[in-house]
Structure 1
Amino acid sequence: MITIEEALRIIDEEGKVIGTERVELTDALNKVLAEDIYSKDTLPPFNKSAMDGYAIKFRDTECCQCGNEIELYVKALVRAGDYYEGTLNSKEAIKIMTGAPVPNGSDAVIQIEKVKENGNKVIISDYIKENTNIIKMGEEIKSGELALEKGKIIRPTEIGFLASLGYSKVVIQKSPKVALITTGDELLDITASLEKGKIRNSNEYSLMALCKNSQVDFISLGVVCDDKEALKKKILKGLKEADIVITSGGVSAGDFDFVENVLEEIGAKINFTSVAIKPGKPVTFATIDNKLFFGLPGNPLSVITTFEEFVKPAIKKMKGYKEVYEEKMLVTAGNDFKAKKDRRKFIYVNIINKGGKYYAYDLGSQCSNHLMTMSKANGIIIMPEGVNKITKGEVVNGRFIFK
């Protein structure tokens, strides 16, 4: 067995970004920007009103500092999208809508809620400072300035910003394509009735969901029986069609576990076959022709754990993400937890925030066949190697899952 840190180091060294592509703006969501973006325009392109109200000269309201009121003549209305050609004079006001250009001669906008309207006049009793409720031309960005740096993850806010700058397409880092292969003579279709010695094929669906959750395209090559040649054919197909191939099952030392043999036969570089993690010890990682291969265990809990711990960071690395590992936090044990101390244990728990502190509570069996425990969990706590007990009240590392 190698340590988790060593496994992650090897995976990180082998994982490479796979190129760039130019895509439609909405297709860039959650992708990594592969070019610096410079503003084509000055934004806003004019002084604009931040409120519905009245454009005025602020000095007209100076008398309001002594408790007086002022009455201004309303000479026009400016809607968003309109433009007033004239100039505002003293003792005048122009009704203005949010986003509309501030008229020449105006240096403040008073909110509509702060005035009394009287026909074609408006009464003001508050002193309004210069530039109140005015968004200045170029306040957001000026033409030619750097708007977004290469390497930025494009969120909905960046989509809107890019649209405001006039970008309909952008260059992004390509996302890897994943091929999924599920192995095992014991597997039935999920709609089938259970038979002696058989179980339903949950791993394929877990892996498809994990890929979707990682926002990566995938193809599922279905279930392959415990036959070496059949498995080889599927793996070669996966390597041809995808950047990452993932199998579940067939990676232990049993008579019908053929993954390692197939990898040797096709000339793959096998980097490791066992990691000191529980659940999920029999993990195989190999590379061939710049493609990544992950052989995950067959037990359902182990499949999900090892995907999250090893495959997900590789996907992020290949997508161009700078931060690829899930952030840990300090969690206080709400119960005692016990386990063997030969490997690092990922214990599925319910994490609750109490008074600004996180507490982890036991959910029962951590057997690697029990998906029901994981379905109740919202996080994990991590029991280090060499430790066989976490005592109630002890502070340990943990994190939320599937966020």
Structure 2
Amino acid sequence: MMPYEEALDIVLSFCRSLPSEKVFIVDALNRVLAEDVVSQEDRPSFDNSAMDGYAVRWEDIKEATEKSPISLKVIGEMPAGGEGSFKVERGTAVKIFTGAPIPEGADTVIPVEYTETKNGMVFIKTSLKEGANIRRRGEELKAGDVVLEKGTIIRHYEVGILASLNKINVEVSRKPRVAILSTGDEIKDIGEPITKPSQIRTSNNYTLLAGVLSAGGIAYHLGIVEDDPEKLKNVLSQIGEYDVFITTGGVSMGEKDYVKTLVSELGVDVKFHKVRIKPAKPILFGTYNGGKGLFFGIPGNPVSCAIAFDLLVKPALLKMQGAKEYLPKTFKAKIKRDFYRRDAERREFVRAVYWWEGDSLVCDFSQKLQSHMLTSYVGANCYLVVKEGVKEIKEGEEVELILF
């Protein structure tokens, strides 16, 4: 069996970069930037007020206190988006609103809550440091600054940033086209009647569909095919139409596990079959179309399917799109109770939950460890990684976690 790191390295080594396309910024959500986005101007583009209040000369108000306020003549008002030719000279102030330009001569803004007004005068009841509450030109961005780097996954925050930069259309990587096929005589799709005790409801198709979408791909649901070599071969023959092809089931050692044989007949160059992990050991990976396409044969047990996607398929989809961060994210926490297992030959990925207790990050693991128990993901937010050779972890020991 192949170690996990070696299997991941092999998969990633065959991830070709997809071409880019230009899309409207809202359509770029969850896509990967294929260009650096550069600011065309300073931001802010002018000195402006961070508060509603009064623009003043610091020299005038530096001695102001609650008991001994400083009085200044109000010579005008500056709204956000407004214009004015006010000049703040000694003994004067301009009423100003958040975002409004700082008038000539002013160097400090006093928030309105520290003032009182009467008969055209404002009484300043506190002294702040010089320059307080002024947003300086270019303090956030300078013209020519790279704001978003190539390889950034665009969230709703980045969409807002793109809009603020007047970036109407943006270059992103093309979405990978991913086919999903489930196999098995016993599998029934959602909405279909269960007519025999031996039949089970599908989950893998929809776990993978949602996973592909969340990783920025386009998912093609090819349905469920019986364990019939000819029917399987007919569907698998479409493999060349997709960037990635995923099957679930049919890759273990049973008499009806036909996938591992059929894909070779169809031109898939198998790179490995079986990884030293638990669950999801019998993963098959290969390439097709001269190494341009990726094939993943994933075990049929629901947890094995999810783990195989998280640990191998998702990183591949992200790398194909040029994402800067495509590897599973790991971190450390202290385990809340003892963990024990009999077989320590493989690396195990246990569904778990982490949280903060004071200044410490702690975790606990699911009681449901079997690979058919998809409900072990309920409430979970990470995998507890149990390395090869480790049979027991004691309460309070530091462990490695992988973030979902």
Q: Same fold (TM over 0.5)?
A: yes
**Where do 1:4-403 residues align within 5 Å?**
4-64=4-64, 68-191=68-191, 192-193=193-194, 195-240=196-241, 242-289=242-289, 290-333=292-335, 334-401=337-404
Residue segments in structure 1 that go unaligned for 5+ positions in a row: none
Cα 1:12–1:129 shift into 2, 3 Å: same
8 Å Cα contact 2:31/2:216 also seen in 1? no
8 Å Cα contact 2:382/2:401 also seen in 1? yes
Q: 1: distance between equivalents of 2:265 and 2:112?
A: 77
What letter matches 1:276 in structure 2?
Answer: R
Q: 1: distance between equivalents of 2:105 and 2:198?
A: 85
In the TM superposition, residue 2 of structure 1 has moved relative to its aligned partner by 1.1
In the TM superposition, residue 298 of structure 1 has moved relative to its aligned partner by 0.7
Cα 1:47–1:356 shift into 2, 3 Å: closer
In the TM superposition, residue 332 of structure 1 has moved relative to its aligned partner by 3.2
8 Å Cα contact 2:350/2:366 also seen in 1? no
8 Å Cα contact 1:40/1:166 also seen in 2? no
Cα 1:40–1:281 shift into 2, 3 Å: same
8 Å Cα contact 1:331/1:381 also seen in 2? no
Q: 1: distance between equivalents of 2:277 and 2:330?
A: 17
Q: 2: distance between equivalents of 1:66 and 1:328?
A: 53
Q: 1: distance between equivalents of 2:159 and 2:71?
A: 45
Q: 1: distance between equivalents of 2:211 and 2:380?
A: 16
In the TM superposition, residue 362 of structure 1 has moved relative to its aligned partner by 4.5
In the TM superposition, residue 325 of structure 1 has moved relative to its aligned partner by 1.9
Q: 2: distance between equivalents of 1:239 and 1:119?
A: 81
Q: Could you report, residue by residue, the CA deviation over 1:313-354 in whole angstroms, capped at 9, with x for unpaired residues?
A: 111111212332222223334123213122111122343433
Cα 1:238–1:135 shift into 2, 3 Å: same
Residue segments in structure 2 that go unaligned for 5+ positions in a row: none
Q: Could you report, residue by residue, the CA deviation over 1:169-219 in whole angstroms, capped at 9, with x for unpaired residues?
A: 111222312111011110113332352221111111221222233232211
In the TM superposition, residue 249 of structure 1 has moved relative to its aligned partner by 0.4
Q: 1: distance between equivalents of 2:394 and 2:105?
A: 72
Q: Could you report, residue by residue, the CA deviation over 1:201-240 in whole angstroms, capped at 9, with x for unpaired residues?
A: 1111221222233232211111111122222222232431
Cα 1:276–1:21 shift into 2, 3 Å: same
Q: 2: distance between equivalents of 1:331 and 1:179?
A: 37
Q: 2: distance between equivalents of 1:307 and 1:48?
A: 50
Identity %: 38
What letter matches 1:171 in structure 2?
Answer: E
Structure 2 residue matching 1:329: 3-state secondary structure: strand
8 Å Cα contact 1:338/1:390 also seen in 2? no
Q: Could you report, residue by residue, the CA deviation over 1:48-101 in whole angstroms, capped at 9, with x for unpaired residues?
A: 111100112222224537964322222222111111123233222211110011
In the TM superposition, residue 395 of structure 1 has moved relative to its aligned partner by 3.0
Cα 1:124–1:311 shift into 2, 3 Å: same
What letter matches 1:397 in structure 2?
Answer: E
Q: 2: distance between equivalents of 1:256 and 1:160?
A: 52
Structure 2 residue matching 1:381: 3-state secondary structure: strand
8 Å Cα contact 1:221/1:238 also seen in 2? no
Q: 2: distance between equivalents of 1:380 and 1:173?
A: 29
Q: 2: distance between equivalents of 1:193 and 1:96?
A: 70
Q: 2: distance between equivalents of 1:320 and 1:213?
A: 15
Cα 1:211–1:151 shift into 2, 3 Å: closer
Query: TM-score, normalized by length of structure 1?
Result: 0.92
What letter matches 1:116 in structure 2?
Answer: E
Q: 2: distance between equivalents of 1:69 and 1:60?
A: 11
Q: Could you report, residue by residue, the CA deviation over 1:286-330 in whole angstroms, capped at 9, with x for unpaired residues?
A: 111101110000111110111111111111111212332222223
Structure 2 residue matching 1:64: 3-state secondary structure: coil
Query: TM-score, normalized by length of structure 2?
Result: 0.92
- Give 4+ residue runs of structure 1 displaced > 6 Å after superposition: none
Q: 1: distance between equivalents of 2:394 and 2:198?
A: 39
Cα 1:376–1:97 shift into 2, 3 Å: closer
Q: 2: distance between equivalents of 1:393 and 1:57?
A: 59
8 Å Cα contact 2:365/2:384 also seen in 1? no
What letter matches 2:339 in structure 1?
Answer: D
